[in-house]
Amino acid sequence: MTDTQQTDIVQQVTERFVKEFGEQPSIIVRAPGRVNLIGEHTDYNDGFVMPMAINRSVVIALRPRTDRHVNIISLDFDQPITFALDGLTKEKASPTEYVKGVAWALQEDGYELSGFEGVMKGDVPIGSGLSSSAALEMAAVRAFLACIDADWQPAKFALLGQKVENKWMGVNSGIMDQMISAAGVADHAVMIDCRSLEIETLRVPPRTAVLILDTSTRRGLVDSAYNERRQQCEDAAEFFDVPALRDVTVEMFNEKAEGLDPLIRQRARHIVTENARVLEARDAMLKDDAAWLGRLMDESHVSLRDDYEVSSEALNAIVDITRKQPGVYGARMTGAGFGGCAVALVDAETVESIVAPIAAEYKEQTGLDASIYVTEAAEGAEIIKS
């Protein structure tokens, strides 16, 4: 973890910790957000995704307590995160609920937790589709485990984080976000088989940069649309008589899809072709072929826009504007959709020079201010100090 911005956050939480508790924190943990290069909405179909952990994360500096209280000062939120580990009950969604949900899931799994106190700060923009909540969950898991010296197992605790989302927060999400936050590898994208949870690390093609383009729109109504898509995918899997759409190849789809309801067919076509694109993206990356990978990202966007219908005007605008710039291999919306961020693969030499023109044209077209930045592939959840 050498990134200057991340070092800065570690310094800020450490300084506040010292001020508050009169000594150095005994433990510091960090867990990253993510950007998905390709493989969108495939995770809950047991399919393939290709995200990378980013150099934006949640950092917690802490010391264990001898009692069962958790008390975290947040440098981002007005309210501290405080609760007792006994008799946990769900309350209205707030940052506290994520940490409480993690405590609940770990205790359900038999862990005997101790309380802790500390200071937390994050720089994953909230609601932008870069998985700030998975980052908070994985940082909380690492914090609780570090206090009791328990082993870290990325896939196991990614599943536990997903359980927090599904059962505690009531959000029906897949496994991608927690898995990449837990298992990210610096300088690499990670292909995840969302059925077996096997991972393969792959290098982003040399001399390219990954650009995140935040439309500054935040997704509305995303939960209901997300659940509706999940249901449509399950209906399609039933039609093909398979456990999940992951089991449907493009050939099988072409042979049988005629019989499907047109809307369900459209949704299934996105999943089936997107899974094939991720596998092809792997080949492109093994060959260091940026143009090929970029083409697949472009195709993914079209499929998400037209077949899966989870893009938005702002996302389409920023993707179209980006594609016109010199040195851009490909661009697409990333994450659940309906707002948030796009991602582009760009020639490393031209990347800095296209940021201002994209922002200007986007502002002219939409009246909105985009934030655009290059990201490095970062390490997954880790203990920085213990």
Binding stretches for ligand GLA (CB under 6 A): 40-41, 43-44, 173-174, 176-177, 335-336
- 96 or 132: CB nearest ligand GLA: 132
Q: How far is CA 198 from CA 43, 166, 190, in A?
A: 13, 22, 10
- 170 or 326: CB nearest ligand GLA: 170
For residues 279 and 192, is the Cβ–Cβ distance under 8 A?
no
Kindly state the smallest distance separating residue 363's Cβ from ligand GLA, in Å: 27
For residues 165 and 133, is the Cβ–Cβ distance under 8 A?
yes
Q: What residues form DSSP beta bridges with 28?
A: 61, 385
Task: Compute CA 33 distance to the chain's CA centroid, rounded to the nearest angstrom.
Answer: 5
Measured on CA atoms in the order 353, 358, 364, 367, is the torsion positive or negative?
A: negative
- 16 or 269: CB nearest ligand GLA: 269
Q: What residues form DSSP beta bridges with 58?
A: 31, 122
Q: How far is CA 22 from CA 15, 17, 314, in A?
A: 10, 7, 47
- 115 or 335: CB nearest ligand GLA: 335
- 225 or 374: CB nearest ligand GLA: 225
For residues 268 and 235, is the Cβ–Cβ distance under 8 A?
no
Kindly state the smallest distance separating residue 278's Cβ from ligand GLA, in Å: 11
For residues 135 and 32, is the Cβ–Cβ distance under 8 A?
yes
- 174 or 184: CB nearest ligand GLA: 174
Q: Helix, strand, coil proportions of the chain in percent (round to 5)?
A: 45, 20, 35
- The C-alpha R_g of the chain, in whole angstroms, comes to 21
C-alpha span between 7 and 4 (Å, rounded): 5
Provide the annotated active-site residues. 177
C-alpha span between 9 and 13 (Å, rounded): 6
Q: Count of H helices and E strands in the chain?
A: 11, 13
What secondary structure letter does DSSP report for 58? E
